[in-house]
Amino acid sequence: MKYVVGHKNPDTDSVVSAYCLAEFLGDGYKAARAGEPNKETQFVFKYSKAEMPELVDASKADAFVLVDHNGDCQIPKDVDRDRIEMIVDHHKLEGLSLNSPISIRIEPVGSTSTLVAKMYSKNNIEISKEVAALLLSGIISDTLKMTSPTTTSADKETAKELATKARINIDELASEMFKIKSDLTGMSISKVVGSDYKNFQMGKNKVGFGVFETVDPKPAIKKKKEIIAALTDLKNKEEVNLIFFGIVDIIKTITYLVILSKDEAEVAEKGYGGKTEDNILKLTGIVSRKKEMIPLLEKALT
Ligand SMILES: [Mn+2]
């Protein structure tokens, strides 16, 4: 059996693209997830009437197809680098060192779901209603309903086609997804901080960066003290040199970056401009970790 699996701390795009690519590849391929699915991901699987992929167990698979990531820091635990046979992704190439040639498809589009949809249509494989609904959810989630600066015309066109196929109203689905994404009830602060969290290697520095996308940033900002405590723990656990957490207001397109210490403040102010006040640096007009937050930070660090 071969696993199709997304990155650690899985988001919606990484779980749905694993599911839909496994369906596309067919016999012998099985979708998996590299961690607990977040509330939004659970919702879209229920909504699409599809079964949530199982938790990856690296010892069970002969080979791996990686989706929605390619960097060493993001690969699920125990995945043997020699058994990776394919990568389908939309992140910058991190320079993974492998022992044999493999098939790699990376394109600068807004979601891995867009790429998987393209693979279906290029090979004239009929997309089922459930796959269409899942891929549409992946696009909506990663591109914030096609508003994030990562959005391309391919994402917009694909979303439209998938919505028609699955008979879904994009605005209605997106508004439900965003409401669920924003809901803090029943979530511990360490879960809020760690659920959409990634590590990045920036020169000599290992940098942790979590985001929480919400339609209303106020409840999260109110928990700033607890967030700072959770970030302190996470910084130790992940053994990173710097750690950041962005509360992203996806309606007003403002990120409230929680600043842990002087070290983080210095780098963040250099990268983004502005001045930290009460442990918050306000990033106006910035919503994308991949296209905005990370590149600016990387520049400041090198
Ligand atoms: Mn993605």
In a domain, 69, yes or no: yes
How many angstroms does the Cα of residue 105 sit away from the middle of ligand 1?
14
How many angstroms does the Cα of residue 51 sit away from the middle of ligand 1?
20
How many angstroms does the Cα of residue 80 sit away from the middle of ligand 1?
22
Same domain, 215 and 290: yes
pLDDT digits (tens, 9 = 90+) for 176-192: 999 999 999 889 999 99
d(CA 34, CA 46): 19
Q: Are 91 and 69 in contact (CB under 8 A)?
A: yes
Same domain, 32 and 135: yes
Q: What is the CATH number of the domain that holds 146?
A: 3.90.1640.10
Domain end residue (candidates: 128, 156, 179): 179
In a domain, 121, yes or no: yes
Number of domains present in the structure of the chain = 2
How many angstroms does the Cα of residue 90 sit away from the middle of ligand 1?
7
- Domain hosting residue 174, numbered range: 2-179
How many angstroms does the Cα of residue 87 sit away from the middle of ligand 1?
13
Mean pLDDT of 62-74: 95
Q: What is the pTM of this model?
A: 0.93
Above 90 in pLDDT, residue 5?
A: yes
Q: Are 5 and 64 in contact (CB under 8 A)?
A: yes
pLDDT at 99: 87
Q: What is the CATH number of the domain that holds 287?
A: 3.10.310.20
Of the candidates 223, 199, 145, 130, the residue with the CA atom closest to the CA atom of residue 177: 145
Above 90 in pLDDT, residue 280?
A: yes
Same domain, 217 and 145: no
pLDDT at 98: 87
